[in-house]
Amino acid sequence: MLQVKPLLRKVIGVSLFTAIGFTAMGFGHAPQADAATKADKIISTGKKYLGVKYRFGAPSGVTYAFDCSSFTQYIFKKNGVSLPRASYAQAAKGKKISKSQLKKGDLVFFSRPGKSGIGHVSVYAGNNKLLHAAGKYVKVSNLSSSYWKSHYITARRVI
């Protein structure tokens, strides 16, 4: 006659050992670690374009000039994340998060002077820094500057 308890113990033991082994070998994955790695890759991709000229309405997919949303769309797409072209449309993607919850790779949205609503998008690069196409070129700015603090609207997590 079959003994159920010892067999059950064996099945559970083998299953647990297999799960631990696969995780240690890299077959299991942690979603947070994957998101952090993807965020670092997106930021690294974006930093390759530091100094590239800003041009409002720059076409999608080109690298000789960017506007804010063509820049975010391009660097996210290069890393497997599809975003719409316009900043206001990007602001409807992913999960809304508070400023205090910002993590690398989050999209951060701002108004433009004298206008209401979303008018600018950047990528949170960690340490209170924004990576974006703004002014005359692609650059890193400080989120704590009076300008960005006063124009902040929202942030979204898309990875």
* Active-site option among 58, 79, 132, 134: 132
3-state secondary structure of 2: coil
Active-site annotation holds for 29: no
Please report which helix (H) or strand (E) contains residue 124, including its range.
Answer: strand 120-126
Q: Are 99 and 155 in contact (CB under 8 A)?
A: yes
Q: Are 104 and 32 in contact (CB under 8 A)?
A: no
For the purposes of burial, counting CB atoms within 10 Å of the CB of 113, is it exposed (0-12), middle (13-18) or buried (19 or more)? Answer: exposed
Active-site annotation holds for 68: yes
* Active-site option among 68, 118, 123, 138: 68
* Active-site option among 65, 104, 120, 143: 120
For every residue of 45-94, which 3-state class applies, written as one string?
HHHCCCCCEECCCCCCCCCCEECHHHHHHHHHHCCCCCCCCCHHHHCCCC
Active-site annotation holds for 132: yes
Q: Which residues are catalytic?
A: 68, 120, 132
